[in-house]
Structure 1
Amino acid sequence: MEKQKKKTIQMPHTYVIIFAVVVLCAVLTYLIPVGSFQTQEISYMMGDTEKTRTVIVADSFTYAVDEAGNRVRSGVPLFGTEDFGGQGMLNYVFEGLTSGDKNGSAVGIVAFILVIGGAFGIVMRTGAVDAGIHAMIRKTKGREIILIPVLFTLFSLGGAVFGMGEEAIPFAMVIVPLTIAMGYDAVVAVCVTYVATQIGFGTSWMNPFGLAIAQGIAGVPVLSGAGFRIVMWAVFTLAGVLFTMAYARKIKKNPQSSVAYESDAYYRNQMAQSDAAAAPFTLGQGLVLVSILVTIVWTVWGVVVEGYYIPEIASQFFVMGLVAGIIGCIFHLNGMRPSDMASSFQSGAADLVGAALVVGMAQGIVIVLGGTDPTTPSVMNTILYTLGNLLSGVPGVLAAWLMYVFQSLFNFVVVSGSGQAALTMPIMAPLADLAGITRQVAVLAYQLGDGLTNLIVPTSGCLLGVLGVARLEWGKWAKFQIKMQGMLFVLSTIFVVVAVMIGFA
Structure 2
Amino acid sequence: MGDKKTVSNLKERKWKFGIPHVYVILFMVIILATIATYIVPAGEYDRIVNDDGRTIVVDGTYQVVDSSPSGFMQIFQSLHKGMTNSAGIIFYIFIVGGAFGILQTTGAITGAVGSISTKMKGREYWLIPILMTFFALSGAMLGLAEETIPYITILVPLMVLIGYDSMVGAAIVLLGTSAGFTAAFMNPFTVGVAQGIAEVPLFSGLLFRIIVWAIFLSISIWYVMRYAKKVKADPTKSSLYGSPDQEIVVPSEMKSMTTGHKLIFLVLIATLVTLAFGVIKLDWYLSEISGLFLIMGIIMGLLAKMNFSEIAESFIEGCRVLVMGALVVGIANAILVVLQDGLIMDTILHGLASSIDTMPGGLAAVGMYIVQCMLNFIVPSGSGQAALTMPIMAPLADLVGVTRQTAVLAFQFGDGISNIFSPTSGYFMAGLALAKIPWIKWVKWILPLILIHYTLGALFVTVAHLIGYS
TM-score normalised by length of structure 2: 0.92
* Shift in Å, 1:338: 4.2
Unaligned runs of 5+ in 1: 1-6, 44-50, 66-71, 80-87, 100-105, 330-335, 372-376
Q: Tell me whether 1:221 sits opposite 2:215 in the alignment.
A: no
Structure 1 residues 153 and 58: CA distance shift in structure 2, 3 A? same
**Deviant stretches of 4+, over 6 Å:** none
Structural mapping, 1:168-317, within 5 Å: 168-261=148-241, 262=243, 265-267=246-248, 269-272=249-252, 275=253, 277=254, 279-317=255-293
Q: Tell me whether 1:385 sits opposite 2:350 in the alignment.
A: yes
Q: Which amino acid aligns with 2:153?
A: M
Inter-partner Cα distance in structure 2 for 1:468 and 1:455 = 13
- Retained in 2: the 8 A contact 1:186–1:264? no
What SS does the aligned partner of 1:491 have?
A: helix
What SS does the aligned partner of 2:128 have?
A: helix
Q: Which amino acid aligns with 1:409?
A: M
Inter-partner Cα distance in structure 2 for 1:445 and 1:393 = 18
What SS does the aligned partner of 1:370 have?
A: helix
Structural mapping, 1:390-469, within 5 Å: 390-469=355-434
What SS does the aligned partner of 1:479 have?
A: helix
The structure 2 residue matched to 1:17, chosen from 22, 25, 37, is: 25
* Shift in Å, 1:392: 1.0
* Shift in Å, 1:29: 0.8
Inter-partner Cα distance in structure 2 for 1:317 and 1:216 = 30
Inter-partner Cα distance in structure 2 for 1:90 and 1:151 = 42
Q: Which amino acid aligns with 1:28?
A: A
Structural mapping, 1:23-34, within 5 Å: 23-34=31-42
* Shift in Å, 1:270: 4.1
* Shift in Å, 1:385: 0.6
What SS does the aligned partner of 2:149 have?
A: helix
Q: Which amino acid aligns with 1:76?
A: S
* Equivalent residue number for residue 358 of structure 1: 328
Inter-partner Cα distance in structure 2 for 1:8 and 1:205 = 47
Q: Tell me whether 1:151 sits opposite 2:131 in the alignment.
A: yes
Inter-partner Cα distance in structure 1 for 2:393 and 2:215 = 26
* Shift in Å, 1:42: 4.2
* Equivalent residue number for residue 84 of structure 1: none
* Shift in Å, 1:337: 4.7
* Shift in Å, 1:146: 0.7
* Equivalent residue number for residue 98 of structure 1: 84
Superimposed CA distance per residue, residues 67-121 of structure 1 (whole angstroms, 9 cap, x where no aligned partner): xxxxx2x221111xxxxxxxx102333221112xxxxxx1011111111222122
Q: Which amino acid aligns with 1:457?
A: S
Q: Tell me whether 1:324 sits opposite 2:300 in the alignment.
A: yes
* Equivalent residue number for residue 39 of structure 1: 47
Inter-partner Cα distance in structure 2 for 1:432 and 1:203 = 20
Structure 1 residues 264 and 280: CA distance shift in structure 2, 3 A? farther
* Equivalent residue number for residue 55 of structure 2: 54
- Stretch moving more, 149-158 or 293-302: 293-302
Unaligned runs of 5+ in 2: 1-14
Inter-partner Cα distance in structure 2 for 1:131 and 1:116 = 21
* Equivalent residue number for residue 312 of structure 2: 342
- Retained in 1: the 8 A contact 2:325–2:427? no
* Equivalent residue number for residue 83 of structure 1: none
* Equivalent residue number for residue 71 of structure 2: 77
Inter-partner Cα distance in structure 2 for 1:464 and 1:230 = 28
Q: Tell me whether 1:138 sits opposite 2:118 in the alignment.
A: yes
Q: Which amino acid aligns with 1:393?
A: T
Inter-partner Cα distance in structure 2 for 1:140 and 1:206 = 32
* Shift in Å, 1:148: 0.9
- Retained in 2: the 8 A contact 1:11–1:476? no
What SS does the aligned partner of 2:304 have?
A: helix
- Retained in 2: the 8 A contact 1:163–1:208? yes
Structure 1 residues 265 and 56: CA distance shift in structure 2, 3 A? closer
What SS does the aligned partner of 1:55 have?
A: strand
* Equivalent residue number for residue 140 of structure 2: 160
User: How many aligned residue pairs are there?
Assistant: 455
Superimposed CA distance per residue, residues 363-391 of structure 1 (whole angstroms, 9 cap, x where no aligned partner): 111111126xxxxx711111001111111
- Retained in 2: the 8 A contact 1:180–1:264? no
* Shift in Å, 1:17: 1.2
* Shift in Å, 1:202: 1.9
* Equivalent residue number for residue 368 of structure 1: 338
* Shift in Å, 1:247: 1.5
What SS does the aligned partner of 1:98 have?
A: helix
Structure 1 residues 318 and 41: CA distance shift in structure 2, 3 A? closer
What SS does the aligned partner of 2:48 have?
A: strand
More helix by share: 2
Q: Which amino acid aligns with 2:247?
A: Y
Superimposed CA distance per residue, residues 214-241 of structure 1 (whole angstroms, 9 cap, x where no aligned partner): 1222222222211211111111111111
Inter-partner Cα distance in structure 2 for 1:170 and 1:464 = 13
* Equivalent residue number for residue 108 of structure 1: 88
* Equivalent residue number for residue 4 of structure 2: none
* Equivalent residue number for residue 486 of structure 1: 451
Q: Which amino acid aligns with 1:350?
A: R
Structure 1 residues 386 and 122: CA distance shift in structure 2, 3 A? same
Inter-partner Cα distance in structure 2 for 1:343 and 1:40 = 46
Inter-partner Cα distance in structure 2 for 1:167 and 1:254 = 33
* Shift in Å, 1:258: 2.8
* Shift in Å, 1:32: 0.9
Q: Which amino acid aligns with 2:280?
A: V
Inter-partner Cα distance in structure 1 for 2:469 and 2:350 = 26
Inter-partner Cα distance in structure 1 for 2:167 and 2:379 = 25
Identical aligned pairs, as a percentage?
40
Structure 1 residues 397 and 23: CA distance shift in structure 2, 3 A? same
- Retained in 2: the 8 A contact 1:12–1:475? no
What SS does the aligned partner of 2:146 have?
A: coil
Q: Which amino acid aligns with 1:433?
A: D
Inter-partner Cα distance in structure 1 for 2:144 and 2:298 = 24
What SS does the aligned partner of 1:40 have?
A: strand
